[in-house]
Chains A and B, each alone.
Chain A
């Protein structure tokens, strides 16, 4: 996609996004609620028209050839869309009919996919008796029946417990290897992006902040994170010469409230120096921890806040206004 933008009213929900997803890649869109992930997904799935920009999927433009695009894509929405009052197998039969798959081919594929998602034994039970994870797996299975070249997964594990999430991740990996499918997923779970994606794009307020592999992003952040919690507020020592000196020798140093966070390749050498400086500045230390950087650290670096903070400030009024704009 090149310079993709989507405007609802006067608000840009997606603002000038450019990216390319490679064949057979699992590409992740990582961002908080309201970042523009689902809107992008809907545009890619031909459900919304972009305001501007060019998007091609398998060489077909989504605006000029939506029918051709639909033949090549599968789309699993954030909501579970399987029919509760049909059996698992009937849901897949319906999906195969919607995709014009000949009856004999459909039977074979349904058997194959039920096996892949491990729902063979429950295929003749009504979906209303399925757990959330089983419903999600069935939903994903339905989107694979026509063997799409690109599969869009919008928040595939949202609302599921960690065990179920891990199970879904296994299936997503299997889908990529068995069907050679390119997968484009959106998530606000760091561990999901880290576990599944070959590359991720961090998106916030409709803009992409960075695109790279989780490993490279973490590597670029610094080899270690040093986190010191103090007894008193340390905002006042920000400009102390000792602190300024340390700041110069590390990749990044954040001082906020009672926390000092440093990313550096030589945290072990910096630690004694920092302790000495803090003691000199009469700042008492509460705790010290050192760990390799996580995607969460990367996310904070590029957005200035944690993804959880963003989700906590998720505002119902703002969301209502957004939906009202969409309806217009």
Chain B
């Protein structure tokens, strides 16, 4: 199973790099923490409003899944930037003349980015436990982590696609910023879908972020609606699978071109 070994080699490198950048780990936590502290406390009075649409916890309990997903979105969508560096400084060429399987490079990068995004999200989850957010069982916790991994895999795929097509830092960052924040804002991360204007709610329903947040929120607050769970899980799996395939194809096709 050489391809698994090849994927592992790429993941090994990326995770090693991440583990050595303690400053990077901390800096990635700042933005989500600001969201939790500022937005969580600013809108704490809206608890009755969100209770009116059937949510039983307080606003902090409500917003935490959104912030966890915010962390996953931004860590994974920014993660592809080192693909640009790898191409610019010859690492990709070095990999290309080794016997490593071509598809393992993109897959390895995506898996590594999703691992890093999951670790960052779990750190936010851990911090939210410290400020009183709870999760019912270990099984629920495991389920949430699995969903984050799948979700991050999809977003790391988007990042790899953008990095493959962008060819310059400027284009990459412009595209990523154009995608990241709107996808987060057009979701029920901060307010329930039911409280959004109808047109916004319709747009949000086309966004995979929406289903991920609803799924994690339901599982974290034991408000499991079997219908939500099945639809959410199905959409996230399809999202991760389709994006992974497209990213592998685009990356493998594009990296053969000189940069």
- A42/B258 in contact, CB under 8 A: yes
- A327/B17 in contact, CB under 8 A: no
- B258/A327 in contact, CB under 8 A: yes
Residues on B with C-beta less than 8 A from A70 are 97-99
What separation, in Å, do the CA atoms of A326 and B256 have in the docked complex? 11
Contact of A45 among B6, B13, B17, B97 (CB under 8 A): B97
CB of A94 closer than 8 Å to a CB of B: yes
CB of B2 closer than 8 Å to a CB of A: yes
Q: What is the minimal beta-carbon distance from B139 to any residue of chain A, in angstroms?
A: 35
- B91/A81 in contact, CB under 8 A: yes
What separation, in Å, do the CA atoms of A242 and B122 have in the docked complex? 90
CB of B16 closer than 8 Å to a CB of A: yes
Chain B 1-42, CB-CB to A under 8 Å as 1, else 0, gives: 010011011001100110011000000000000000000000
- B9/A71 in contact, CB under 8 A: no
- B99/A100 in contact, CB under 8 A: yes
- B89/A73 in contact, CB under 8 A: no
CB of B95 closer than 8 Å to a CB of A: yes
- A48/B258 in contact, CB under 8 A: yes
Q: What is the minimal beta-carbon distance from B13 to any residue of chain A, in angstroms?
A: 5
CB of B96 closer than 8 Å to a CB of A: yes
What separation, in Å, do the CA atoms of A291 and B172 have in the docked complex? 56
Contact of B12 among A97, A99, A326 (CB under 8 A): A97
- B90/A77 in contact, CB under 8 A: yes
- B20/A94 in contact, CB under 8 A: no
Chain A interface, number of residues (Cβ within 8 angstroms): 29
CB of A75 closer than 8 Å to a CB of B: yes
Q: What is the minimal beta-carbon distance from B164 to any residue of chain A, in angstroms?
A: 13
Residues on B with C-beta less than 8 A from A79 are 89-90
Residues on A with C-beta less than 8 A from B13 are 83, 86, 94
Number of cross-chain contacts by CB at 8 Å: 75
Contact of A81 among B90, B258, B259 (CB under 8 A): B90
Which residue of chain B has the shortest Cβ distance to A327 in the bound complex? B257
Q: What is the minimal beta-carbon distance from A215 to any residue of chain B, in angstroms?
A: 33
Chain B 48-88, CB-CB to A under 8 Å as 1, else 0, gives: 00000000000000000000000000000000000000000
CB of A162 closer than 8 Å to a CB of B: no
- B89/A99 in contact, CB under 8 A: no
Residues on B with C-beta less than 8 A from A83 are 13, 17, 91
- B17/A86 in contact, CB under 8 A: yes
CB of A308 closer than 8 Å to a CB of B: no
Contact of A90 among B8, B16, B99, B258 (CB under 8 A): B16
Which residue of chain A has the shortest Cβ distance to B98 in the bound complex? A98
Contact of B97 among A75, A80, A94, A326 (CB under 8 A): A75
B residues apposed to A, CB below 8 Å: 2, 5-6, 8-9, 12-13, 16-17, 20-21, 89-91, 93-100, 167, 257-259
A-B contact pairs, 9 of them (CB 8 A): A42-B93, A75-B97, A78-B90, A80-B89, A85-B16, A86-B13, A86-B17, A98-B6, A98-B99
Beyond known contacts A81-B89, A85-B16: 12 more, CB 8 A cutoff: A67-B99, A70-B97, A70-B99, A75-B94, A80-B89, A81-B90, A81-B94, A85-B20, A94-B9, A97-B9, A98-B98, A100-B99
